[in-house]
Structure 1
Amino acid sequence: MDGEKIKDSAMDLVLNVADYYFFTPYVYPASWPEDGALRQIISLLVVTNLGAAVLYLGLGAISYYFIFDHNLMKHPHFLENQVWREIKYAMTSLPVISIPTVALFFTEVRGYSKLYDHVADSPLGWPGLFLSMISFLFFTDMCIYWIHRFLHHKLIYKLFHKPHHIWKIPTPFASHAFHPVDGFLQGMPYHIYPFLFPLHKVLYLALYVFVNIWTISIHDGDYRVPGALTSVINGSAHHTDHHLFFDYNYGQYFTLWDRLGGSYRHPSALMGKGPHDLIRKLQAEGKLGNDEANVTDFCEPRSKET
């Protein structure tokens, strides 16, 4: 390839492949070097938007068709044309979210992060690689908890986070259906981590994919959680209660910070009072499809959401 080697970044792995197979032979003129700042920014915008759309639509579709229980669409809180509305909202937000995200990727590409290429570059070798994975999860979980809780503040909530709470019974496609400011703020810890701590490039990319999978999974309506992990892992059952009851279960992966912050709620779906239980109750009573007064036996008032 022409041009100087792109500097240390997880995104340089993606850009090098994109340049070699697509941008250099088919898009950019030979006079435009691969390490040019403007070219890198444009390429990052293309790659980031394409990657986000593929991950969201691809993983979301897999989850929607093979994991999500479509019976949940009978719930009184499920909106008309909700799936299409979730997808439309996400696909209009993701390009806006990509703008500040690309700014962070660009600083990584220019060599300002602590990302490294080889295990030998890790301060602790292979143990350091494993520890960085664990610390990434706990660091981002802590940051997202407090960012998420901040977004629920009465002065902030209506401006940025309320659109995500339209989906009281979310589908996998609700996973990225955020206001752009909300989506960027909650995604920021993932991008900040490699500026603070050493992290292998390939592991960073793998964790980025994992984050997308996890975000979809906590919106997928599969409320099963291994009994021993119910009080530790923040799964779909926990997060659905966040959508239904508003000020509980802010965490991303774990319940740790919800317990420390006094916002933990044991999932209603695991106590026989979840969305599926309500649907069965209304079906047995012949009331399914009536107004939301039918849900009062199962759902607490949402007085803090206005």
Structure 2
Amino acid sequence: MVRNYLGGTLLYIVSGVLWCFYIYYLKRSVYIPKDAIPSNKAMLLQIYVAMKAMPWYSALPTISEYMVENGWARCFSRISDVSWLAYLMYVAIYLIFVEFGIYWMHRELHDIKPLYKYLHATHHIYNKQNTLSPFAGLAFHPLDGILQAVPHVIALFVVPMHFTTHIALLFMEAIWTANIHDCIHSKIWPVMGAGYHTIHHTTYRHNYGHYTIWMDWMFGTLRDPIDDELKVL
């Protein structure tokens, strides 16, 4: 658990600092208007919230490892155990399962009022461009952050999965969630980028998805940032 805590903390801090330095200083006013850059105080508060939750976040890969070591999950240790074709197929199914699970977990954290009030509202105090930053990506109530990552673990009981790939994808969450909170719309279909997620933080009722827009499209909660831009024009 200590290894996961140190790895998660290092990844969060280093990726956040580098990304903020790039978009707020090296490319100041290029990607984000000057008056929309969050204050240092706001970013430090986000780091504080994330650091309080980090010990709990690190428990999830630790539990995964324990389950795999005890043979409870459907994991395999080497790609050669199944073949490259099967490995790629399993990763694709795993990602679809995770996308579906995170969509509904996130949506229920909004729809079930006590869950929103006592858990998810901690994250949604960052609800406009000048309060969102890459550091907001892990600024959750600890239980909220764990619940949204739980589909990664549940998937291990459903899909045969390469364990190292599973752990890598868990840690990739830290980088991905930093990316979708930077307010920069990348316009790469079908990626659920920051443009979509910024809308989620302002309307609270759209774009619950994680990596792609597909679940929101399927379940009627998609709102496209380009459509919003056209309405303004």
State the TM-score, normalizing by the size of structure 2.
0.86
The aligned runs of 1:132-147 (5 Å cut-off) are 132-147=90-105
Q: Deviations over 1:1-20 (max 9, x none)?
A: xxxxxxxxxxxxxxxxxxxx
Mapped pair 1:47 → 2:6:
no
Q: CA deviation at 1:207?
A: 2.3
- Distance change >3 Å, CA 106–CA 190, structure 1 → 2: same
Fraction of identical pairs, as percent: 31
Amino acid at match of 2:156: P
- Distance change >3 Å, CA 152–CA 70, structure 1 → 2: farther
- Distance change >3 Å, CA 70–CA 88, structure 1 → 2: farther
Residue in 2 that maps onto 1:175: 137
Contact 2:126 2:201 (8 Å CA) reproduced: yes
- Distance change >3 Å, CA 269–CA 52, structure 1 → 2: farther
Residue in 2 that maps onto 1:157: 116
Residue in 1 that maps onto 2:35: 74
Residue in 2 that maps onto 1:254: 212
SS, match of residue 114 in structure 2? coil
Mapped pair 1:63 → 2:23:
no
* Inter-partner Cα distance in structure 2 for 1:55 and 1:110: 28
Amino acid at match of 2:17: A
* Inter-partner Cα distance in structure 1 for 2:13 and 2:205: 28
State the TM-score, normalizing by the size of structure 1.
0.66
* Inter-partner Cα distance in structure 2 for 1:80 and 1:173: 11
What stretches of structure 2 of length at least 5 have no aligned partner? none
Q: CA deviation at 1:98?
A: 3.0
Amino acid at match of 1:89: V
Q: CA deviation at 1:240?
A: 0.6
The aligned runs of 1:13-32 (5 Å cut-off) are none
* Inter-partner Cα distance in structure 2 for 1:101 and 1:117: 15
Instruction: Give the counterpart of 1:204 among 166, 169, 181.
Output: 166
Count of residues in Structure 1 that have an aligned counterpart in Structure 2:
224
Contact 2:61 2:167 (8 Å CA) reproduced: no
Amino acid at match of 1:94: M
Q: CA deviation at 1:221?
A: 2.4
Residue in 2 that maps onto 1:116: 76
Contact 1:237 1:270 (8 Å CA) reproduced: no
Mapped pair 1:225 → 2:183:
no
* Inter-partner Cα distance in structure 2 for 1:211 and 1:100: 12
Q: CA deviation at 1:80?
A: 7.2
What stretches of structure 1 of length at least 5 have no aligned partner? 1-44, 274-296, 299-306
Contact 1:241 1:267 (8 Å CA) reproduced: yes
Q: Deviations over 1:73-124 (max 9, x none)?
A: 6239x567110010000001111333455334322233322221222322xx
Residue in 1 that maps onto 2:47: 87
The aligned runs of 1:268-279 (5 Å cut-off) are 271=229
Contact 1:237 1:269 (8 Å CA) reproduced: no
SS, match of residue 96 in structure 1? helix
Instruction: Give the counterpart of 2:176 among 214, 219, 228.
Output: 214
Name the larger-Rg structure: 1
